[in-house]
Structure 1
Amino acid sequence: MTRFHSENTATQGYPSHAAGGYNTGDRYERFDLADRCRFPDDTGTGTRGDEAIEVYGRVTVGSDGTTADELAATIVSEWFDDSESETILTHENAGQLGVGTVVTDEGRVYVTVDLC
């Protein structure tokens, strides 16, 4: 599911929760994960879903010899510098994390992370 979303964001040319005609909730439905991947929120009074369980990003590969590990570190660092993304990635009630990446011919790397 995450690669599917990264492919769609690469096709549209920019990262967002909605791409290729699917928003976050639509993708969870399409891949039969909507019911399974809802989990309690931090207050214990509701469930988290849709955009609250997804982060995405884009970086561009340079001709400077940047390695895949360095690119991954850049993306993760950007996510942890953003309090909303950090909250999503460190949600204590999530049991699984899926990562999907796509690299375009232009050297753009699109990454999606969805929680379950």
Structure 2
Amino acid sequence: MKIAILLLPALLLAGCGTIDTVFREDSVASEKLKERKSYCGGVPRIYSGVTYDFCSLHAPVPENGRTSTGPASTYGMLIDIALSSVFDTLLLPYTIYQQQTDGSLIITQ
């Protein structure tokens, strides 16, 4: 039981937009949004996790229906947006510096 409690935060953070945009390479976030055929052309580094999640949320539904959609998926995304907003706020000094030095994440189409 203790292991499950310790693994739950790790599993929640694995799909977190902030983790994908701040702590991983730029190509990871770019590829994921390109696979989802997101309408976003770029993601600013400031509050990048929240922006990334909104881009994922507003991506078109795939024709093959292989990904989960519906209320459960939407609620999971809303939880991720809430968590990302907290982490993005905590990381704000770093992401402001990163925006100034590197610019926005560009999603190549």
Q: Do they fold alike, i.e. is TM over 0.5?
A: no
TM-score (norm 1): 0.25
**Larger strand fraction of residues:** 1
**Larger helix fraction of residues:** 2
TM-score (norm 2): 0.26
